[in-house]
């Protein structure tokens, strides 16, 4: 028994010595997570949330007051341009149109009669002129014979009277022709007036008939047959019969944070995902970028807001889908991921490796009188800590200033300061924040905590 106890005691003493040596060897080292720089493709993406909207839609409203007599389409049905979709009671309007059409038909008959009378008068004028021409020849011959003493005075006077009578007949026939023309013109004037009245009555009738302005889908139908509708007055909206949307061109109307809107431009590609269709992604491109900031809490433009409260703001961005689908419906919630920049084969650095550090603090002595009385002025710059071996083969941290380019989902482009294949410190965040140049390092092989490192590195 004593022998077993001695063996156990010896094992415990040996384990204690090993643990002491390991602890002594690791004392002064800082455990860090590291990563090796590589070249890859980077895309900078801006996200925005909103809803699916058709590019063109219209609220078909009531243009006349009355009761809905018929709704020809139901919500969800497709309609074609010019198709009748609803009617409002229009007995009086139809009667006015029918009466005016009858009056026009009568006026057209009157015009035809006046035109016939005008032609008769024209024929009478021509006949009178022919007679006058004959009487003129007889009169001229009678004058010659009378001067020569061959014709009697009685015959001479008869020829002159016949000529004067035909002159009067021509004047009378021309007067009748002018009167016939005046009657025709008057009838045409009355016809034009009645045609104008018909247009007014037809317009009043058309206001009781709602038609589709373009091909589309009925997306909303708030009223039923038999209900009363009214037209809008001044700033008051009238009754809406239905909403028709043109789903041939579909857009995603989203809001983008004010910090990201400066990178969004027209024509940039985007991917739109719809909450109701989780397994589908729709390609599109930016077609509109708003220039008015919208208050996030109310959605009202800042130019229209009467409050002076500072709060987060968004900007409206419209993404037009390259292809539509019958599954899309107006109002569906969606998320648009807009690619604002894309580069291939760039040196990529994990975002969490970036830190702000003052290289002068690496050489400062915290116990000096100067440090105790007047701390040195901090001048932090952007950079990373790389892992570098010293003369004894130990790993030490070295701060390197870097300039960066576009930012991807997890990596950022390195423009200068680092090389491909270099090893950089990526965390933990608290360790990286207080790390100094020259600190002894030890690689931590365990997996980093995503919750702490990722959230802190993105702030």
Under the banding of pLDDT at 50, 70 and 90, the label for residue 301 is confident
What pLDDT score was predicted for residue 361? Answer: 81
Name the pTM for this structure. 0.64
Under the banding of pLDDT at 50, 70 and 90, the label for residue 77 is very high
- pLDDT-wise least confident of 24-33, 273-282, 313-322, 337-346: 24-33
Mean pLDDT of the chain: 86
SS (H, E, C) the chain: CHHHHHHHHHHHHHHHHHHHHHHHHHCCCEEEEEEECEEEEEEEEEEEEEEEEEEEEEEEECCCCEEEEEECCCCCCEECCCCEEEEECCHHHHHHHHHHHHHHHHHHHHHHHHHHHHHHHHHHHHHHHHHHHHHHHHHHHHHHHHHCCCCCHHHHHHHHHHHHHHHHHHHHHHHHHHHHHHHHHHHHHHHHHHHHHHHHHHHHHHCCEEECCCCEEEEECCCCCCCEECCCECCECCCEEEEEEEEEEEEEEEEEECCCHHHCCCCCEEEEEECCEEEEEEEEEEEEEEEEEEECCCCCECCCCCCCCCCCEEEEEEEEECCCCCCCCCCCEEEEEEEEEEEEEEEEEEHHHCEEECHHHHCCCCCCHHHHHCCCCCCCEEEEEEEEECCCCCEEEEEEECEEEEECCCEEEEEECCCCCCEEEEECHHHHHHCCCCCEEEECCCCCCHHHHHHHHCC
Do 91-206 and 47-54+250-339 have the same topology in CATH?
A: no
Residue 459: pLDDT over 60: no
Summarize pLDDT for 227-273 with one digit per residue, the tens: 999 988 877 788 999 999 998 899 999 999 999 999 999 999 999 99
Summarize pLDDT for 306-340 with one digit per residue, the tens: 565 677 889 999 999 999 888 998 999 999 999 99
What pLDDT score was predicted for residue 232? Answer: 84
* CATH architecture of the domain with residue range 91-206: Orthogonal Bundle (1.10)
Could you tell me if 64 and 228 are in contact, meaning their C-beta atoms sit under 8 angstroms apart? Answer: no
29-44+345-457 to CATH, choices 2.40.420.20, 2.70.180.20, 1.10.10.10, 3.40.605.10: 2.40.420.20
Burial class for 323, CB neighbours closer than 10 Å (0-12, 13-18, 19+): exposed
Higher pLDDT, 456 or 201: 201
Summarize pLDDT for 149-196 with one digit per residue, the tens: 888 888 888 888 888 898 898 899 899 989 988 999 999 999 999 999
What is the spatial distance between Cα 143 and Cα 127, in angstroms, rounded to a whole number? 24
Summarize pLDDT for 406-437 with one digit per residue, the tens: 988 899 999 999 999 999 999 898 999 889 99
Under the banding of pLDDT at 50, 70 and 90, the label for residue 369 is very low
Q: What are the boundaries of each domain within the chain?
A: 29-44+345-457, 47-54+250-339, 91-206
Under the banding of pLDDT at 50, 70 and 90, the label for residue 95 is very high
Query: To the nearest whole percent, how much of the chain has pLDDT over 70?
Result: 88
What pLDDT score was predicted for residue 359? Answer: 86
- pLDDT-wise least confident of 103-112, 360-369, 447-456: 447-456
Summarize pLDDT for 37-56 with one digit per residue, the tens: 999 999 999 999 999 999 89
Fold of the domain built from segment(s) 47-54+250-339: Elongation Factor Tu (Ef-tu); domain 3 (2.40.30)
């Amino acid at each position: 028994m004593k022998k077993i106890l001695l063996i156990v005691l010896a094992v415990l003493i040996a384990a204690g010595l090993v643990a002491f040596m390991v602890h002594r060897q690791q004392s002064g080292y800082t455990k860090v997570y590291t990563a090796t720089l590589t070249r890859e493709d980077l895309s900078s993406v801006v996200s925005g949330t909103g809803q699916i909207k058709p590019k063109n839609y219209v609220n078909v409203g009531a243009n006349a007051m009355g009761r809905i007599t018929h709704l020809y389409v139901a919500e969800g049905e497709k309609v074609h341009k010019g198709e009748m979709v609803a009617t409002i009671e229009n007995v009086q309007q139809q009667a006015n149109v029918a009466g005016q059409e009858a009056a026009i038909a009568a006026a057209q008959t009157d015009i035809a009669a006046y035109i016939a009378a005008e032609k008769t008068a024209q024929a009478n004028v021509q006949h009178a002129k022919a007679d006058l021409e004959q009487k003129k020849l007889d009169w001229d011959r009678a004058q010659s014979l009378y001067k020569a003493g061959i014709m009697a005075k009685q015959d001479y006077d008869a020829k002159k009277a016949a000529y004067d009578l035909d002159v009067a007949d021509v004047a009378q026939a021309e007067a009748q022709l002018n009167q016939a023309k005046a009657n025709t013109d008057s009838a045409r004037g009355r016809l034009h007036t009645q045609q104008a009245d018909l247009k007014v009555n037809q317009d009043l009738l058309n206001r009781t008939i709602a038609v589709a302005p373009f091909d589309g889908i009925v997306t909303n139908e708030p009223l039923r047959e038999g209900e009363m509708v009214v037209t809008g007055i001044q700033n008051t909206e009238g009754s809406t019969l239905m909403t028709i949307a043109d789903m041939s061109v579909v857009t995603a109307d989203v809001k983008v944070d004010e910090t990201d809107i400066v990178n969004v431009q027209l024509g940039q590609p985007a991917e739109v995902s719809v909450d109701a269709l989780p397994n589908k992604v729709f390609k599109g491109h930016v077609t509109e970028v708003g220039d008015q900031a919208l208050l996030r809490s109310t959605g009202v433009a800042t130019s229209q807001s009467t409050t002076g409260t500072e709060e987060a703001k968004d900007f409206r961005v419209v993404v037009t889908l390259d292809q539509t689908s019958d599954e899309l419906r107006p109002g569906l919630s969606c998320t648009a991921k807009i690619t604002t920049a894309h580069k291939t084969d760039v040196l990529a650095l994990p975002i969490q490796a970036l830190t702000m550090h003052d290289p002068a603090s690496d050489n400062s002595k915290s116990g000096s009188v100067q440090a105790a009385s007047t701390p040195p002025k901090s001048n932090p710059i952007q950079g990373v800590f790389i892992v570098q071996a010293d003369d004894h083969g130990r790993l030490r941290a070295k701060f390197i200033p870097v300039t960066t380019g576009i930012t991807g989902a997890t990596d950022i482009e390195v423009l200068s300061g680092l090389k491909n294949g270099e090893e950089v410190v990526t965390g933990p965040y608290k360790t990286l924040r207080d790390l100094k140049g020259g600190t002894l390092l030890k690689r931590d092989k365990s997996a980093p905590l995503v919750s702490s490192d990722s959230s802190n590195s993105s702030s």
